[in-house]
Amino acid sequence: MRDTTLYQHLLGLPEPWTVSRVELNVEGQRVDVWVDHPRGLRWACPECGTECTVYDHARERTWRHLDSCQFQTFLHARPPRVKCPEHGVRQIELPWAEPRGRFTLLFEAFAIRVLQETTLQAACRILRISWDEAWHLMRRAVVRGLARKPVRLITYVGVDEKAAGRGQRNYVTIVCDILQGTVEEVIEGRTKRSLLSYFASLTAEQRQAIEAVAMDMCDAYIRAVLETFPEDGERKIVFDRFHLMKHMNEAVDAVRREEHRRLLAQEGGSPLTGTRYLWLYSRERIPRRYWGTYYALRDSDLKTARAWAIKENLRRLWEYRTLRGAEPYWKRWYFWATHSRLEPVKKAAKTLKAHLYGIWNYFTHRITNAMTEGINSRIDELWAAGRGYRNKQRFRIVVLFHLGGLDLAPVTH
């Protein structure tokens, strides 16, 4: 069998395309395949499908194809251009590649699978492509996936901020579909405008379908929701209990630091030495190695132990099944916290009370940002694997590529 016939079968080229020449470079581990077509054919306009005669041919282009054994394989052709009466001069659609692509459809589909399963660096080594080529593939895949993404109604939205580099300005806003567990958008900044831009991208029907938005007590995000939903925005906000408990953890740590300094100054020693992280644990998650220290300190008369007990009892609020049961418990807890004579605890309790509407909404929607936090952990892994990203747009591409739930692969003929 001739090499041209062999590659005609390997490439699966449809008529009227045929392989006209094959060159093998053993030293360079490379195969170059030239593709041509008979003269005098009529081709369809890519815009309207009208059959037209050939106007001219574009300059020769090269596409990377799947390897032939260990040899890198490249496809060469001069794509015909037609002159449509309605749309003017247009290059025809090629059966092996998408417009402006550097790779054949089969190579793109394979490369996307590799990029999804491993790190960018490893994928480049496996596929024998450059970083720029890998980013080209990922960007095209995300653009393709977003174009195909159906307009669907999202009931519960999760919103959180994420660091995308060092400094206060290097943050992005992550918007997730809580029920589907997918990232819907990555927006530069963590301002009101950032979240407003996401809501503005939705249709009126999509905005109407949103029943609740889980978030932390970020003023910018709160204002964005209230501005988008002026009639019932306050009823749509659900403050995530993880972030609420974070405020209480910070209060406990502030009490510990002050008490630790006082004990060192007055007594020259402190039982709180080395216990910073112990007080951040919930009761049931304290590691076994800390049990002895924990039980001794818990039963002591330390202010830190009292602050920790107040913090732990707040967690019980979310165990109630209804708002009717939760409200009396909140009132008792709030009285305890604000009469504890622990200023950081009192301040945290008053902050929670000022945002009580978003706490009560939990008992209607029963949602948290746990899914968003899990996605953030996966984003951390992507950030570490990529050793950071050159800019926020590239960061957005990699997040949507891996976590957007998009249909990324090209349609192979």
Q: Which long-range contacts (CB under 8 A, 24 or more apart) does 37-43 make?
A: 37/80, 41/16, 41/80, 43/80, 43/82, 43/92
For strand 51-57 and strand 61-68, is the pairing parallel, antiparallel, or unpaired? unpaired
SS3 label, residue 57: strand
Tell me the β-bridge partners of 158.
176, 214
- Distance (Å, rounded) from C-alpha 79 to C-alpha 41? 13
* Token digits of residue 161: 């901020």
For strand 212-215 and strand 171-177, is the pairing parallel, antiparallel, or unpaired? unpaired
Residue 176 in this model has a pLDDT that exceeds 80: yes
- Distance (Å, rounded) from C-alpha 21 to C-alpha 19? 6
Mean confidence (pLDDT) of the chain: 91
pLDDT value of residue 260: 92
Closest residue by Cα to residue 74 from 94, 112, 100, 104? 104
- What lies within 8 Å, CB to CB, of 67 at 6+ separation is 73
Q: Could you count the other beta carbons within 10 Å of the beta carbon of residue 328?
A: 10
Residue 15 in this model has a pLDDT that exceeds 50: yes
Residue 391 in this model has a pLDDT that exceeds 80: no
- What lies within 8 Å, CB to CB, of 337 at 6+ separation is 310, 314, 345, 346, 348, 349
Tens of pLDDT, residues 97-124: 998 889 999 999 999 999 999 988 999 9
Q: Residue 285 — pLDDT band, cuts 50, 70, 90?
A: confident
- Pick 163 or 35 by higher pLDDT: 35
* Token digits of residue 206: 């999509």
Residue 280 in this model has a pLDDT that exceeds 80: yes
Tens of pLDDT, residues 218-230: 999 999 999 999 9
Kindly report the pTM of this predicted structure. Answer: 0.86
pLDDT value of residue 208: 95
Rounded average pLDDT over 377-397: 80
SS3 label, residue 88: strand
Residue 237 in this model has a pLDDT that exceeds 90: yes
Closest residue by Cα to residue 161 from 131, 195, 128? 195
Tell me the β-bridge partners of 75.
33, 63
End-to-end CA distance of the chain: 25
pLDDT value of residue 2: 63
Helix (H) or strand (E) holding 228: helix 219-228
Percent composition of the chain: helix, strand, coil (DSSP 3-state, to 5): 50, 20, 30
SS3 label, residue 302: coil
For strand 42-44 and strand 80-84, is the pairing parallel, antiparallel, or unpaired? unpaired
Tens of pLDDT, residues 309-345: 999 999 999 999 999 999 999 999 999 999 999 999 9
Rounded average pLDDT over 81-103: 92
pLDDT value of residue 399: 93
| Strands laid side by side in the 30-36 sheet | 18-25, 30-36, 71-77, 61-68
Q: Could you count the other beta carbons within 10 Å of the beta carbon of residue 346?
A: 16
The answer to whether 90 and 47 are in contact (CB under 8 A) is yes
- Distance (Å, rounded) from C-alpha 326 to C-alpha 411? 53
Helix (H) or strand (E) holding 64: strand 61-68
Residue 241 in this model has a pLDDT that exceeds 70: yes
Q: Residue 234 — pLDDT band, cuts 50, 70, 90?
A: very high
Q: Residue 369 — pLDDT band, cuts 50, 70, 90?
A: confident
- Tell me the torsion sign for CA atoms 404, 155, 365, 337: positive
- Pick 56 or 390 by higher pLDDT: 56
Rounded average pLDDT over 115-141: 93
pLDDT value of residue 1: 43
- Distance (Å, rounded) from C-alpha 3 to C-alpha 6? 5
Residue 288 in this model has a pLDDT that exceeds 70: yes
- Distance (Å, rounded) from C-alpha 286 to C-alpha 365? 30
DSSP H stretches of helix in 83-130: 105-117, 120-127
pLDDT value of residue 167: 57
Residue 376 in this model has a pLDDT that exceeds 90: no
In percent, the amount of the chain with pLDDT more than 90 equals 71
In percent, the amount of the chain with pLDDT more than 70 equals 97
pLDDT value of residue 390: 65
